[in-house]
């Protein structure tokens, strides 16, 4: 700017002394021909503000999880922690997962006349039926197979299997309107119409029942109605409350698995499942039975040897699995023997004790197979068996 001002001053002075007009070329010549040096400087440009760096978000990751992911591409989630800081994690927040789990998947109803008209146009259709293939698979694999007529009558509680066969032979049973005199006839209670003495058999059979009874002394193991002191009379309350616990099912016909004589107490199994009773009572099951025998008088070593050698019962030599003299207890002054047998012949333990020259005062069965009589089960009381108890008894259903 100073150089321009000097040139202007020189030009003015010359213009005053000369009357010759000057052009722009003359002015440029005067400026460039001048020997004056100008120290021209310019102010530095205004510095621009540095851009603020992006906030660094701490990454809250687990090294072990990173190693597992490797080069796998995953979506990060930015979550604010309890202190208000933002963290980066590879899994969705727990609150979001909880809300997604509890969210309703049903479609929201739209408001408007159009939706109402569409809803009015929808006609309810009948529920689709199962296909033939599905019904065939159910009938072949899931439906109970047909059973013998005598077995169905016994399971329905009409009578025992032998008594049911007598009813069939007498012509008092009809199947689908025709008299049937063959107990081996296969029937299905759910499909076939069965009448006994003019009363129709229910379509649904009662559920299978498995009970363990602590039999008292003086009761016999018989289901005959004429017996006044049968173990079946101990289940009167159980049968009376059957309708409340199993509505719509007929009452079961209970019977004992095997027998205990009138003077023997302890464990006996009661059920309405004939196959179960046959399996665990058959000699092929080889179930051991443990008894506690209370003896009058003293027991010596020769008595134990005589019992262990066995005795002949019904022309069969029966030998016990083990014989043991139990330690004396203050509240039980009489000696007690623990005798284990597996054949279970009629009065086997009593005959073994008698053959050894001992006098038996009391006999109690405390175990069948792997199931032991509960210690807290009082005389005359029963308890339902669960699947574990049935397996301990050798039931392989």
Q: What is the mean pLDDT of residues 312-338?
A: 90
Q: Residue 262 above 60 pLDDT?
A: yes
312 and 251 fall within a common domain: no
**Catalytic residue set:** 261
Q: How confident is the model at residue 65 (pLDDT cuts 50, 70, 90)?
A: very low
22 lies in some domain = yes
Least confident range from 82-86, 231-235, 383-387: namely: 82-86
Q: How confident is the model at residue 336 (pLDDT cuts 50, 70, 90)?
A: very high
Report the CATH number at residue 387.
3.30.70.580
> Pairing between strand 336-341 and 322-325?
antiparallel
DSSP for 336-361, written as a single string: EEEEEESS--TTHHHHHHHHTT-EEE
218 lies in some domain = yes
Dihedral sign, CA of 80, 81, 83, 86?
A: negative
275 and 297 fall within a common domain: no
Report the distance separating Cα 151 and Cα 18, nearest Å: 151
Full residue range of the structural domain in which residue 334 is found: 288-368
96 lies in some domain = no
Look at residue 267 in the predicted model and tell me its pLDDT: 96
Is residue 66 a contact partner of residue 42, using CB atoms and an 8 Å limit? no
Question: What's the Cα-to-Cα distance from 211 to each of 2, 159, 171, rounded to whole Å?
Answer: 124, 19, 34
304 lies in some domain = yes
DSSP for 109-151, written as a single string: PPPSHHHHHHHHH----PPPPPPHHHHHHHHHHTSPPPEEHHH
The total number of structural domains in the chain stands at 4
382 lies in some domain = yes
Measured in whole angstroms, how far is the alpha carbon of residue 109 from the centre of its chain? 37
Q: Residue 306 above 70 pLDDT?
A: yes
Look at residue 225 in the predicted model and tell me its pLDDT: 52
Report the CATH number at residue 326.
3.30.70.1560
92 lies in some domain = no
255 and 309 fall within a common domain: no
218 and 254 fall within a common domain: yes
255 and 385 fall within a common domain: yes
Report the distance separating Cα 149 and Cα 195, nearest Å: 11
Q: Residue 5 above 60 pLDDT?
A: no
Q: Residue 107 above 70 pLDDT?
A: no
98 lies in some domain = no
In the chain, the percentage of residues whose pLDDT exceeds 70 is 70
């Amino acid at each position: 700017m100073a150089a321009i001002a000097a040139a202007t001053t020189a030009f003015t002075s010359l213009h005053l002394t000369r009357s010759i007009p000057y052009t722009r070329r003359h002015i440029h010549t005067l400026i460039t021909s001048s020997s004056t040096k100008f120290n021209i400087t310019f102010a530095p440009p205004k510095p621009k503000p540095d851009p603020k760096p992006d906030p660094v978000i701490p990454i809250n990751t687990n090294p072990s999880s990173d190693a597992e992911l490797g080069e796998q591409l995953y979506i990060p989630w930015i979550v604010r922690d309890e202190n208000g800081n933002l963290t980066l994690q590879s899994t969705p927040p727990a609150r979001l997962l909880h809300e997604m789990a509890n969210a309703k998947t049903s479609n929201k109803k739209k408001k408007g006349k159009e939706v109402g008209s569409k809803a009015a146009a929808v006609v309810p259709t009948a529920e689709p039926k199962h296909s033939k293939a599905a019904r065939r698979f159910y009938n072949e694999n899931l439906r109970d197979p047909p059973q013998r007529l005598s077995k169905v009558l016994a399971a329905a509680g009409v009578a025992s299997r032998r008594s049911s066969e007598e009813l069939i032979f007498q012509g008092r049973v009809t199947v689908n309107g025709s008299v049937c005199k063959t107990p081996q006839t296969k029937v299905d209670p759910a499909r076939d119409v069965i009448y006994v003495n003019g009363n129709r058999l229910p379509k649904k059979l009662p559920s299978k029942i498995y009970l363990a009874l602590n039999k008292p002394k003086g009761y016999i193991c018989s289901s005959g109605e004429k017996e006044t002191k049968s173990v079946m009379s101990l289940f009167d309350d159980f049968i009376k409350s059957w309708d409340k616990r199993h509505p719509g099912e007929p009452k079961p016909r209970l019977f004992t698995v095997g027998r205990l004589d009138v003077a023997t107490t302890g464990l006996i199994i009661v059920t309405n499942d004939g196959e179960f009773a046959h399996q665990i009572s058959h000699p092929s099951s080889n179930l051991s039975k443990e008894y506690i025998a209370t003896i009058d008088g003293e027991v010596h070593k020769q008595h134990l040897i005589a019992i262990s050698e066995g005795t002949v019962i019904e022309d069969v030599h029966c030998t016990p699995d083990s014989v043991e003299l139990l330690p004396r207890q203050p509240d039980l002054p009489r000696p007690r023997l623990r005798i284990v047998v597996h054949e279970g012949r009629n009065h086997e333990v009593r005959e073994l004790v008698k053959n050894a020259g001992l006098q038996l005062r009391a006999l109690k069965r405390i175990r069948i197979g792997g199931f032991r009589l509960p210690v807290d089960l009082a005389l005359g009381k029963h308890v339902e068996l669960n699947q574990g108890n049935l397996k301990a008894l050798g039931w392989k259903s």
